[in-house]
Amino acid sequence: MRNTSGQNDELLADVPDSELMAVVLEGRHGSYAAEVAEFFALLHRQLGDRGRSQAWGGVARLVRRREHDRMLATVQ
């Protein structure tokens, strides 16, 4: 899921996959990003893929944490 467009490769190579997925989901789904990640976590759990389910759950938690941090930044 990495960008292969040359100059941005160095920047994206340093970003963990879950962080990158959180950014992509936020960009595509806005305030629903955490719910989308939770949907994929549930889907993979039902399909018996525990590893992917846990990974998507981690992305959902990360999206929620990022949203919380942004809300705190606007209050201060």
Write out pLDDT tens, residues 28-57: 999 999 999 999 999 999 999 999 999 999
* C-alpha to C-alpha distances, 40 to 6, 55, 58, nearest whole angstrom: 30, 9, 11
* C-alpha to C-alpha distances, 48 to 43, 51, 55, nearest whole angstrom: 9, 9, 13
Phi and psi, residue 56, nearest 5°: -65, -35
1 touches 19 (CB < 8 A): no
Band of residue 76 on the pLDDT scale cut at 50, 70, 90? confident
> Which residue would you say has higher pLDDT here, 68 or 5?
68
